[in-house]
Structure 1
Amino acid sequence: MVSLHRTIRNMRRVGLREWWRQMQYIGDAKSGVHVGTDQFGNRYFENMNGEEEIPGRQRWVDFAQHEYHASQVPPEWHSWIHHIRKDPPANDPVIKNLSPPWQAVRFRFTVHVNANIHTFLLSPGWKT
């Protein structure tokens, strides 16, 4: 639940335009530290102040696309967002040195169905 005081405080921190965008996309006004960006342009934020954020909701993603889905978060960022890893992938030495041989490069393709645009992530070997 969003309090009026918290909403106004975060609106002052992030600015009117970003505040309006957040209210339209995620329905909440958030302010925090930008900790990184993934290969798809999604931006990741964190606010560990216990007085400002509800426990478990201190980390969030700002998706690059208007039509977003949770599957657009890469596995390394998923583990950070869900508090499995303490450090973001950009600062985590284990994830920096991790390059599994089974992991393929992912790319996007867009499908137009009934005037709706759907974006999917596939590995290069996938036949469309």
Structure 2
Amino acid sequence: MGKTVLVVDDSKFMRAVVKGEVERNGCTVVAEADCSDAAVEKYKELKPDIVTMDITMTVDGHTIGRSSNGIDAIKQIIEFDPEAKILVVSAMGQKCYVIEAIEAGAKDFVIKPFDEVRFAEALAHFK
């Protein structure tokens, strides 16, 4: 079995896309989360090798404020485990948040819609 991965995105479709790419690259998705709170809980429970983290997430189609982005989840995961390997998977329009995510402790990022080769390269850095 390859590295274990937690996939975090509020979009079920995007979680499926990321999961497919993760598995094509020899890793195993051990859980999915659709919000930052669930991401932190699942990380603490499962302690996967890698987390793919969306930044902007909504609940029932509505952004619920700053805590709905993945930045707080990244900070909480890093506080729990400073060695956590977090790969941000974010839309191009969220570039300022990507910088903030890296400052919060994420190790790399890919822009959605992502290039399969770039995604594979990012995952390979964590192996």
- Alignment TM class, shorter chain as reference: under 0.3
**Larger RCO, structure (CA 8 Å, separation 6 or more):** 2
What TM-score do the two structures reach when normalised by structure 2?
0.24
Larger Rg: 1
Q: TM-score, normalising length from structure 1?
A: 0.24
The structure in which a higher percent of residues are helix is 2
